[in-house]
């Protein structure tokens, strides 16, 4: 396939945009080669500027649970745009989307919309600190919660992809209030609480990690965190930016029966438009201005286009009775096909999947935390990635990112992906 126009655009973009991209993984830095510049998308497919088409296994990193350019979402956004794209004032759509989200999260009583997952997590941490009067937080190595300073410590996602799981420009005084535990290791969390029993405001985590590849919690991990937080008076913050409405209508909270104090959302609740939200129990959320003293604001928060896209998407979720059954079945078939293809080619893999999130790790050991995820052979992955890309499958350009399927992926799409992956395995 020809990629001349993508290569030209990449070269031009590098003169005006750092690295030529607006989010690091897009640059193909960990897999080599030149990124494809996309022109359009529909359903399960993407088309680049050179006219090449791909089956999309990214879905804009999770939001496109019904595929790209769904007619009901497009109609809702178009209608909203005709009324004006931004007001800087409250609208009825904000109330409607708030109710749709909270209806699926019965433990949450209040919600505040923002513009990104980063805003959601940093705001939730501010609420936790304001509510408890404490400064320290606990996060987990390899979990990524956006690029706020306090959270770029032992981070996953792009920071892990580039081999630098933190960031320059983060003040030492800011980083020192972030304590890092090991995912799926309750003893490491308990040790931090015992060292600072009255100083930790919150524990924040991805309930199913997607930002060091897919890593699921052990059977006792989440409940153990709830018990430790309750014992030491800290808040439990569940980052559902990726998993919210992806793993179930009530996200990981529903799937794993988690009692969270605060929850963060993004991606699906905006139907593909920029959005984020944080919410939780009223006793904590009523600390937020203008009711309380925890300040957070945003000119474009509750943007009418994003609210319209989110409302349409959440209504589709409610109407589509077989949504999660279909996602489960088709992603399970993909998992099976990937395992068979790797085995036939003599390639050692560990495939982690939860619902419609999936990652192929090139290691023979189980992957359950940051250290085990780091054992994947990223050089083999890079060759496999390009084998897929050359065969028209657009997989995440990092071994430390989750792939996502959508309701728009057909059984034919899945079989095409399996054949492409099997052929790519044979070339390794």
Smallest Cα–Cα separation from 322: which of 249, 405, 423? Answer: 249
Whether 239 is a known active-site residue: answer: yes
User: Across the strands, what pairs with 358?
Assistant: 353, 403
Which DSSP string do the residues of 87-100 spell out, in sequence order?
-SS--HHHHHHHHH
Q: Which of 54, 144, 183, 407 is catalytic?
A: 144
Among residues 109, 68, 151, 122, the alpha carbon closest in space to that of 409 is found at 68
Are 393 and 417 in contact by the 8 Å Cβ rule? The answer is yes
Q: Is 213 exposed, middle or buried (0-12, 13-18, 19+ CB in 10 A)?
A: buried
**Catalytic residue chosen out of the listed positions 54, 56, 261, 267:** 267
Distance between CA atoms of 281 and 259, rounded to whole angstroms?
10
Active-site residue, 144 included: yes
Q: CA 139, 241, 103: angle at the middle one, nearest 5?
A: 120
Residue 168 contacts by C-beta under 8 Å, 6 or more apart in sequence?
none
Q: What is the DSSP string of 223-289?
A: HHHHHHHHHHT-EEEEE-TTTTTTSSTTHHHHHHT---SEEEEEGGGGTTSS-EEEEE-HHHHTTBT
Residue 40 CB neighbours (<10 A): 12
- Say which of 239, 261, 369, 413 is annotated catalytic: 239
Q: Are 232 and 266 in contact (CB under 8 A)?
A: no
φ and ψ at residue 414, rounded to 5 degrees = -60, -45
Distance of CA 229 to the CA centre of its chain: 24
Active site members: 144, 239, 267
């Amino acid at each position: 396939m020809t990629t001349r126009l993508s290569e030209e655009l990449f070269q031009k973009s590098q003169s005006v945009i750092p690295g030529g991209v607006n989010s690091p993984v897009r640059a193909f830095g960990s897999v080599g080669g030149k990124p494809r510049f996309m022109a359009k998308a529909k359903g399960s497919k993407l088309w680049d500027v050179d006219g090449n088409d791909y089956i999309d296994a990214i879905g804009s990193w999770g939001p496109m649970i019904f595929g790209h350019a769904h007619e009901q979402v497009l109609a809702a956004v178009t209608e909203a745009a005709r009324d004006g794209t931004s007001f800087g004032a409250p609208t009825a759509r904000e109330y409607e989307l708030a109710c749709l989200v909270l209806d699926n999260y019965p433990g949450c009583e209040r919600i505040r919309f923002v513009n990104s997952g980063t805003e959601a997590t940093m705001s939730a941490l501010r609420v936790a600190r304001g509510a408890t009067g404490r400064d320290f937080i606990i996060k987990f190595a390899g979990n990524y919660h956006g690029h706020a300073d306090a959270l770029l410590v032992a981070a996953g996602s792009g920071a892990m992809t580039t081999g630098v799981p933190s960031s320059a420009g983060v003040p030492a005084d800011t980083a020192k209030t972030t304590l890092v535990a090991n995912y799926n290791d309750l003893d490491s969390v308990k040790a931090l609480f015992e060292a600072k029993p009255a100083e930790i405001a919150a524990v924040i985590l991805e309930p199913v990690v997607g930002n060091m590849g897919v890593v699921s919690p052990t059977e006792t991990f989440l409940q153990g965190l709830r018990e430790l937080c309750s014992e030491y008076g800290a808040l439990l913050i569940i980052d559902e930016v990726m998993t919210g409405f992806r793993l179930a209508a009530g996200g990981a909270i529903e799937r794993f029966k988690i009692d969270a104090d605060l929850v963060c959302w993004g991606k699906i609740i905006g139907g593909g438009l920029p959005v984020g939200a944080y919410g939780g129990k009223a006793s904590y959320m009523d600390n937020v201005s203008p009711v309380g003293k925890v300040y957070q604001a945003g000119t474009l928060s509750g943007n009418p286009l994003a609210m319209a896209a989110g409302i349409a998407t959440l209504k589709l979720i409610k109407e589509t009775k077989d949504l999660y059954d279909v996602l489960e079945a088709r992603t399970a078939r993909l998992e099976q096909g990937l395992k068979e293809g790797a085995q036939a080619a003599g390639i050692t893999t560990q495939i982690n999947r939860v619902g419609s999130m999936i990652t192929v790790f090139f290691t023979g050991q189980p992957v359950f935390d940051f250290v085990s995820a780091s054992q994947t052979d990223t050089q083999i992955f890079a060759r496999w990635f390009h084998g897929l890309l050359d065969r028209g499958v657009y997989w995440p350009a990092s071994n430390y990112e989750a792939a996502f399927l959508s309701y728009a992926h057909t059984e034919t799409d899945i079989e095409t992906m399996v054949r492409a992956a099997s052929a790519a395995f044979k070339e390794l």
